Structures are given as structure tokens and as C-alpha cells.
A and B are shown apart, each in its own frame.
Chain A
Amino acid sequence: MKTTIWSEGIHPGRLPEAQLAENFGDLHPPLDAHEAMVAADRCYFCYDAPCVTACPTAIDIPLFIRQISTGTPEAAARTIFEQNIFGGMCARVCPTETLCEESCVRETAEGRPVEIGRLQRYATDTLMAANAHPFSRAASTGKRVAVVGAGPAGLSCAHRLAMLGHEVALFDAAAKPGGLNEYGIATYKTPNGFARAEVDWLMGIGGIELQTSETVDASRLSQLRETYDAVFLGIGLGHVNALTLGDIERPGVEDAVAFIARLRQSDPSSVEIGRDVIVVGGGMTAVDAAVQAKRLGALNVTLAYRGPRDRMKASRYEQDLAAQDGVNLLTDVAPVELHGSPLEAVSFAQPTGDIVTIPADQLLLAIGQVLAPIEAPALEDGRIAIGETGRTSMGHVWAGGDCTNRGENLTVTAVAQGRDAAMDIHASLMEHANG
């Protein structure tokens, strides 16, 4: 019998292929040239613009928008990439509604900000479509730096170091570079292999040697410290939190992170999904998992969060996206018991103590990620402690991105930290070289 949205159990192909293709296509279609001109014209070119302050990478937004409006999107892209080499990905995945666009004075004035994210995409897409790398390397410094982790932080750091003339060895434990850009972001936010294409484009700077499927443990790290002039750790958060409900392992229960990664690496029509899906969590990963479960054809998707709605880490925009896609948002509920194996239902406790049981053949857990155990620099709050420019407690070792104790866990924050660490590494290496 053909699988449909009504079929019980966990199956692939609940929706026709055409529907799946539409569901996992671009969430925000790109602006065309005229739309970009109209959108760009709304920018007031503010003095000391609040949007720039709100951007973790401090992109000169009014300048790049003005460059778009005068018919030079390539120059606009350069303005963006000078601050943020992942300007293309950030244009797609940044929670702009809580960053640049939230601070836009037109948001204040009219509740409708300049579409900074989409304009950024217009500019970066234009330049990247020409397949041109906008920067060239400085003369070789003869210095060698090891970058561990080829996610946004590591790649940003590697790119900036390469640009400054250093030789970079880039290691990643996964089979492909990109980190969460490649494995962790919802498919509809970055379709058509964009993450991979972006890494290839970024590597066009030259001077970066990538080694994938290369795990760096404590002994390898000390080796790297001896072999290289500096080391940057951008290793992300390798482990997911577990529910403390005893033995929950059974068919139907999975980490949302693994689910999202599987979906990103597959054709959606081959990805299995339940009829009644529950996602536990309240962050972006939870929303991404819930929305994608719905878009794969799950009949009922419930996003269950233990706190009130305003404490959810997912932005209001993301919450609304989930609601609009038909995800049920349940707040102030904590999972207390799993029923059946394979999974049949999950019981939740309400603040009143009342128990409610919801049928479920699939449970996706998105209750946070933690740093994988590493015998390395000193930690703070379970993450690598860094200073403003990414210095760790270990000499010649810098870190950035989700694995550190600073900043929000956002792509754009990781990019900023990678870049700033690279600048500090450069200053440090050149100071030693000159001294």
C-alpha cells in the first residue's frame, strides 16, 4: 500500500516528490534586480547606523545597500565579505529579526525594516555567481597555523589567516567541511548545495589545506601545538544533551541534530518520518526539526517546551514560522515518561502536576548541545574560556564559535570570533617575527 500522511509508523515518502521539492525549496526566494533596487531605496543611510552595531560582524550595512542602489552589487558584496566571509550563508540563516533588522530605524518607524538579509543575499549571490573570489593573499609570511574544525568559526579564521599570508592546515572530523552550515541548518534555508559551494568558493583564497575525517584529540592537539606556530579551535559542540528519564533508547527516539543532518545529506523523499511526531526543545534546532518534520509529511507535529513561550530561544519569527506550518506549540510541559517500544506515546507533566499523554511514533530531542569532552584549554560554564580576541588559557591556542563561552550560538557570531582570532593570531605571529 502506498505511504501517505495517514500511514501509521515511520516511513519515507509520505508526500509526493513535487510537494517535497516545494517544501524544501528556498524559504525566501531571492530578490530580483528591480526588487533589490526598491528594497535598497528604503534605507535611510543612518549615521553610525544601529544595524551595524547590531551585526556581530559589524558589516557596513548602509554602505553596501547604497552600493546596491547605485548598480554595483559586486562592490556591495565586497563590503560585506570584508567583514564576514560567510555573508552569503548569514544572509540566509541569520535571525535578522533579532539583529540588524530589529534595530533598523524603519522597524521603529513603521514596523517594517529594510530587508537587510535579502539585500545581503542579493549582493553576495551576484558576486558568487560570477565565481570570483574577491580577495587575494598577501605575501607569504612563512607562518603555519592549524585550524581545528571547518565550521563557520574555523573557516572564517582560516580564510582571514590565508588572506594575511599564512599557511593554514584545516582539520575536520566530518567527511565534508562546513560544520553546522553543512549538517545543522534546515534544508529550506540553504537549498541547492549552497553550503558546500560556499566553502569551495571561500577556499578559492588559496593557502588552506583541508583534511576531513580527521579527529583532533588531546594528544593530537599537543602535537599540533608543537608543529604549528598557532592553533585555532573551532570545534563546535559535539555532544547533545540527553533526557534524564532513564533508558529512553528505543525505535522512534532520536537526536534532532542527527535527524537534521540526515535530512541535509539526503533527498527528502528518502527520509523516514513518523505520523505523530513530538519535538522536545525550544531553540532553533527544535524549530528546524519540527518544521521539517511537518514538511516531510508528518500529520501531527508537536513542539513541546518546558518553559513559557517567551523563554524559548527560537526567535519569535521562527516560532511563527513553525505555527504557520501547522506545528502545535506546547509550552510549560516537561516530558516524564515514554511509552512503548517502538515508541507509542509520551507523557508530559504540566505546571499543575497534571499529566497529559500524547500519541507519538517519533520523538526528536533538541534540548541543547554540549562541548564534547576535551582535555584542552580551561573551560568556563562547560565551554572553552576565551578572551575578547579568542585567546585561551593555553599558549598559542585560540578558539571561537559555539565551543567557547562567549557570544550567542549563531553562525554570525562564530564568523566574527574566527575572524577576530585570526587578526589576533596574525598580530601575535608578526610581532614575534619582527621582534
Chain B
Amino acid sequence: MADLSTNFVGIKSPNPFWLASAPPTDKEYNVRRAFDAGWGGVVWKTLGLDPHVVNVNGPRYGVIHGADRRVLGINNIELITDRPLDVNLREIKQVVRDYPDRAMVVSLMVPCEEEPWKMILPLVEDTGAHGVELNFGCPHGMSERGMGSAVGQVPEYIEMVTRWVKQNTRMPVIVKLTPNITDVRKPAEAAKRGGADAVSLINTINSITSVDLDLFAPEPTIDGKGAHGGYCGPAVKPIALNMVAEIARDPELAGLPISGIGGITTWRDAAEFMALGAGSVQVCTAAMTYGFKIVQEMVSGLSQYLDERGMVMDDLIGRAVPNVTDWKHLNLNYVTKARIDQDLCIKCGRCYAACEDTSHQAIAMNPGRVFEVKDDECVACNLCLDVCPVENCITMEELAPGTVDPRTGKVVEAERADWTTHPHNPNAVAAE
């Protein structure tokens, strides 16, 4: 078993799998169950000032289903904790005492004034919690009151509040970022300037999951009306991965620790976030869909992966970051062609329909439903591979340097060459 123990900005946990600040971490009962199931840590559901908020009394979640009602995405219009502050603090203290090896981070959201932060931070410290996470991401309800993503969308506010918090606590400070912005590096830079120890991302995405075509109202529907909610779950993972990578590869932000969040459902998802630089990961929707037990698969899966490759956690974290680049740096002399394995092909013709109708007419449908790639038309777009229902039936084969690409009639060059040196680029620089 690989050692999965984690030290994230001084916050220690037996594994990198934390539950994100959300309904699963709303109270002692759930968190105890989570720790008993094996979660390495939790970010306690966001605390605010009393009088505590109220939630709607109708549905607060909407869903996107895949086949067989598989949950692909959930959105929610739930607010921060709707229980009194002292109740939450008392429960946190109990749990910290009873589970000393687990990470306890407390999520906070109070108005954009220094006093409330000065008031609440000592109370959290008193619980023995190991860190705080500043909720600058919640996109619904709280943002209408000038908190949550309303702060996270203004880098100056992020910097200001982060600085207040750092000045008023000894605990590590994680700033949770909203994806509802145009360039995630700006709020991350602000958090760094304010002195944040780490950022966590992504929070949920503004969304309407669906429209009820009988009521003509967004879902979830409250008495005939709906408000946008925050979208999460497997569907948002690609967006989250990109935002994590943007921060991880930015020279200004290099080294800023990242707690990765966004649709993590399996150990593999977690490993992908870690490869893009996340030192810990946070999970919510998967737990809300399947219960706390999934962490056992995450632990065994990540451990097996590391063992099979003789890696430790630090070998994984950030390992893919150097390979995330800009389009202009992609090698234009890398030429591939689709290859269809006729033994694996089940003759469904999806590759043909996709290529013929929507791409480059590079697949021939021969008698007997034999599908073959026309190398003189194939631009290697990958669509056939993407829509093929059989794993590894269609692959991409690299043309060796020196061979002729039948589509262009040009010899494949061994040297790499990209857009920066391409003759069509008005700003091209001469190749060395």
C-alpha cells in the first residue's frame, strides 16, 4: 500500500481525499460517519454570522441524468449552514477531539468588513480546527447579499479579505475560487497577494439544470419559479481541470498550493487533479450520489496506481503541469492517422456517419460494412475514435519522420515546428 498521507499547507490527513464544504459536512453526525468511512479530512460546511440563514422549503437540488439515471451533474440553491454558529462550533470541537488524525478545515463566509472576520476567527481557532477556507465562490443566494461569488468576482475584495484573515489568525488560509469569472488566474493572484496559503477550486458554476416543459419554469422549481443554482458533479470536471492547470502553470502563481475540486468521482479523477498540481482533493457530488463509502475505492485505487508505477504521492502531484501548454507551441510536424482494427470493429458505422456527415469524409464504407480510413483525407481529428463504442478499436498512429503524408503530399519532418515559426503566422519568428 502506497503511503497516501498528506500534508497540505501544514494540514495533515491520512489521505488526500477531503469532503468539500457542502451538505455532507453540515453537522457532526455526517462528519463522524465520513471519518468512520475513511475520509482523510473535511471542509466543514460554511459558517456565517447569526442569525443563521434560512433555506427554501421546496426542492434545493436539480439534476442532469445520463443513461440509467446515472447522475452526471447536480445543481443546488442551498445556502451556507442554516444552524446557529455556536452549535456548529461545539460540534467541530467534538469531532476534532475524537478524530485527531483527520483534517478539519472550516469554511467561512461573513460580510466584507473586517470586524466580523475578527470576531469569528478566534471562535474557529478555539475548536482546534486545522485551517479555514474562505468561501468566495457560492454563486447563488449569498452572492445577492454581497458575499460568496460576489466577493470572488472582484480580485480587490479577495485580496482585502484574505489579508484581514491572515492578520487575525495563525491557521492556514485556503481561498476557494469561483469559476464564474473570465480568467481564474486573476482571483488566484489576488488571493496570493493577500497572503493566502492555498487556493481551492472550483466552486460551483452558475446553472439552470433544466426547464420543466409543463410548468415552463427552471428546475428545481419552487412554487412555479426557479433561480439559478451552482452546478457540480462529473459534468464540470473538464472545466475544473482546466482552471486548476491555468493556475498551476502560471509563472506568477507557481508554487501556490491547490486543493482540487470539481466532479471528482473516482480515484482516477483525483489522480488527474493531482497530476495537474492539486495537493489535496475535495469531493462532494460523488458522496451525495453514492454515500461516503466511495472513499475506500479512491484510497485503494490511488494506492494501486502509485504502487504499480513505483511512485509516491509527490511524484504524481504536478507531474502533468509541464505538458500543459499553449496551442501555439503544439508540434505541427506531429502527423497521425486514424487506424481501425478490423478484428475489434463491430460494424456499427458510427465513425463513418460522424466523419462523412460532420468531418472530413475520410472513412470509406466498403461492401460488407468494412470501414477503412482514407489516409489522403484523414486530418487525424480524433472524432471517429471519440464516437467509436469499442475501446481501442480506433487508434491514432503516428507517421514516422521521412514518410509522406498522403493528404498533404509532404514528407513528415523529424524536427518539431509550431505556429510561432509557421510562414502563415504574420508574427512568426525565424526558426533557429
Contact = CB atoms under 8 A, between A and B. Distances in A.
A356 interface: no
Nearest to A48: B349
Contacts of B389: 44, 109
Nearest to A43: B348
B346 A108 contact: yes
A303 to B, nearest CB: 35
A259 B201 CA distance: 73
B352 interface: yes
A49 B353 CA distance: 11
A108 B347 contact: yes
Given A47-B353, A50-B369, A41 B346 contact: no
A10 interface: no
B369 A41 contact: no
A109 B352 contact: no
B346 A109 contact: yes
Given A47-B348, A50-B347, A37 B68 contact: yes
A38 B347 contact: no
Interface string A31-44: 00010011001001
A106 B390 CA distance: 10
B204 to A, nearest CB: 27
Contacts of B87: none
Q: Is the interface of A mostly helix, strand, loop or mixed?
A: helix
Contacts of A46: 347-350
A105 interface: yes
Interface string A389-432: 00000000000000000000000000000000000000000000
A109 B390 CA distance: 8
Contacts of B350: 44-47
A400 B277 CA distance: 71
Most A CB within 10 A of own CB, among B67, B346, B389, B390: B346
Interface residues of B, number: 14
Most B CB within 10 A of own CB, among A41, A46, A47, A106: A47
Interface string A104-134: 0110110000000000000000000000000
Nearest to A62: B348
Interface string B347-363: 11110110000000000
A106 B347 CA distance: 10
Contacts of A34: 69
B68 A105 contact: no
A105 B347 contact: yes
Interface string A46-72: 111110000000000000000000000
Contacts of B68: 37-38, 41
Interface in B397-427: none
A106 B69 CA distance: 21
Interface in B347-385: 347-350, 352-353, 365, 369
A114 to B, nearest CB: 11
Contacts of A41: 67-68
B385 to A, nearest CB: 15
Interface string A64-85: 0000000000000000000000
B390 A47 contact: no
Nearest to A38: B68
A60 to B, nearest CB: 15
Contacts of B67: 37-38, 41
A108 B389 CA distance: 12
Contacts of A49: 349
A165 B276 CA distance: 68
B352 A47 contact: yes
A265 B67 CA distance: 43
B366 to A, nearest CB: 13
Contacts of A37: 67-69
Nearest to B369: A50
Interface in B316-352: 346-350, 352
A41 B69 CA distance: 11
Nearest to A69: B67
A314 to B, nearest CB: 28
Contacts of B353: 47
Nearest to B353: A47
Interface in B56-92: 67-69
Contacts of A45: 350
B352 A106 contact: no
A45 B351 CA distance: 11
Nearest to B390: A109
B346 to A, nearest CB: 4
Contacts of A108: 346-347
Most A CB within 10 A of own CB, among B347, B352, B353, B389: B347
Nearest to A107: B346
A109 B347 CA distance: 9
A37 B347 CA distance: 24
B179 to A, nearest CB: 30
Contacts of B348: 44, 46-47, 105
A47 B346 contact: no
A334 to B, nearest CB: 40
Contacts of B352: 47
27 contacts: A34-B69, A37-B67, A38-B68, A41-B67, A41-B68, A44-B350, A44-B389, A45-B350, A46-B349, A47-B348, A47-B349, A47-B350, A47-B352, A47-B353, A47-B365, A48-B365, A48-B369, A49-B349, A50-B347, A50-B369, A105-B346, A105-B348, A106-B346, A108-B346, A108-B347, A109-B389, A109-B390
Interface of B: 67-69, 346-350, 352-353, 365, 369, 389-390
Given A48-B349, A108-B347, 10 more contacts: A37-B69, A38-B68, A41-B67, A44-B348, A44-B389, A46-B348, A47-B353, A47-B365, A105-B346, A106-B346
- What 5 pairs across the A-B complex have the smallest Cβ distances? A47-B349, A41-B67, A47-B353, A105-B346, A46-B348
